[in-house]
Amino acid sequence: MFNRTRCLQITAALASISLLSGCSLFSDGGGDGAQRIVVGTTSAPTTLDPAAAWDGSWELYRNVYQTLLAFPTGATKPQPDAAQSCEFTDSGNESYRCVLRKGLKFSDGESLDAKAVKHSLDRIKAINAQSGPKALFGSLDKIETPDAHTVVFHLNTPDATFPFVLGSPAASLVSPKQYPADKLREGDKVTGSGPYTLESYKEGGEAVLNRSDTYNGFADRRNEGVTIRYFADSKKMIAALKGKEIDATYRGLSAEEVKDLQAPASHDAGVRVVENVGSEIRYLIFNPKDPQVAKAEVRQAIAQIIDRGTLVSQVYQGTAEPLYSMVPKGVVGHKTPFYDMYGQPDVSKAKKILREAGVPTPVDLTFWYTTDRYGASTADEFTELKRQLDESGLFRITLRGQPWKSFQEGYKKGEYPVFGRGWFPDFPDPDNFIAPFVGKENAVGTPYEATEILSVLLPKSRRESDRSAGIHEFEKAQQIFASDVRLLPLWQGKLYVAAREDVGGAERALDPQTVMQVWELYRKTSW
């Protein structure tokens, strides 16, 4: 099992480039600025219970649940939210203490005290949901509550990244009266202490959020409430934006749609785009349970053939760039081991790899992808991957697409030999791009017992409070990934928020975990 997970040290903490313009008076609340905002996204929650989700459900969680720590826009380290203060109390990074703010309450009126924090995190391990975030808490041994406002986390190994985990939606705090200790909560209700309460929820339809009267945390809410509409089709979402049915969009825009929204015609129609420095990554995942993919030479041959440059230029048109590393550009520890090892695409080298391993060709494989999670370009991406591999004469690829819910169930059960996954940072540290993918239980459901990474490199890096001090360990881990090719990084993309010109705050709406903080959005007031 791997200890902890999704970290990424974005050196400059997701700097953003605003393309919004116009003469407006930005309101700080009250008046027009306090109106409701409607946001569209293709990232619908898979569940409303935080103990069962380690995916895009976090988009909703960040806005309705609270965490002890959080990442305000521009932060590179977690800052207090439900906690008043947190710190390691030993030199070995094995004991971490948080003191809660006074007077915290859940939306059901119950107190958010130290016992509620313990309950919230203990149930994650007790329930052990297959698609849940338990693996993030691998270093957590036990929790003590010496008094009503103090929580002490005892770790089973030094882990300087534990505060980052507490700042992620994986550590969402829930009301003990509403969330059982040993099973998931059923239904469509949420009882949290976040900036908003969930007034109503329709699966696949919308979530209506109202400003919470009892919230006590870091978020400075600039609207009275937000309605999040879920779209299975990004084309319909863009039509709704242009038709003034929604005010902003996030997640799921195809390259063509981004280009269209950046064009003068869209500007004239009152739509603007904010481009954020990318930390989105797309991988091919190989399942060792499949008899063909279990052969390292088959995986290496695929790595030798795929032309990332053509893939990006043909499908993503400048909204992404080729990636040859587990750790993306802009993150401490980034190197290019996949390029160093395989170089330019070369069919003859791939043929030699397979021939020397005695693998008959063409190799028949089925590639799986989700049809409604990462945008309309995903199908085009896999069509291009199939074209490249088929044209080599060494592979014969069949494509299969599934809606996210069934797709997720399938890869967690190990049903897919090869499948595509997107990755967004849980918190800013390079560890987050290594640890989630190794161990018996990991984020992609394909056990990968990388002994040196698990037993030597990650533990050594986690002893370092100065996160840049573990660069050598991360570089070595990436070399191991490149040799094994259990995952194949394809590209690193940018993130875009499209908004109508009368809506402000889009340039601040994404936190360092690339989760949308909807409280930043507001209605501008004209001169």
Cβ atoms 33, 27 nearer than 8 A: yes
Residue 165 tokens read as: 């985990």
* Average pLDDT of adjacent 10-residue blocks, the chain of 527 residues: 35 30 34 75 93 91 97 83 96 93 96 98 95 92 97 95 94 97 96 98 96 95 96 90 93 83 82 80 94 97 97 89 91 90 97 98 97 86 98 98 92 94 83 91 89 94 81 94 97 89 90 82 76
Instruction: Look at strands 225-230 and 37-41 and give their pairing.
Output: parallel
d(CA 212, CA 226): 12
Tokens 């391993």, residue?
357
Q: Where are the alpha helices (DSSP H) in 245-305?
A: 255-262, 264-268, 296-305
d(CA 256, CA 316): 8
Establish how many alpha carbons lie within 13 A of residue 26's alpha carbon, considering only the half-sphere containing its beta carbon: 11
Q: In 10 A of CB 302, how many CB atoms?
A: 27
**According to the model, what pLDDT value does residue 278 have?**
65
**According to the model, what pLDDT value does residue 469 have?**
78
- Amino acid identity of residue 308, one-letter, is R
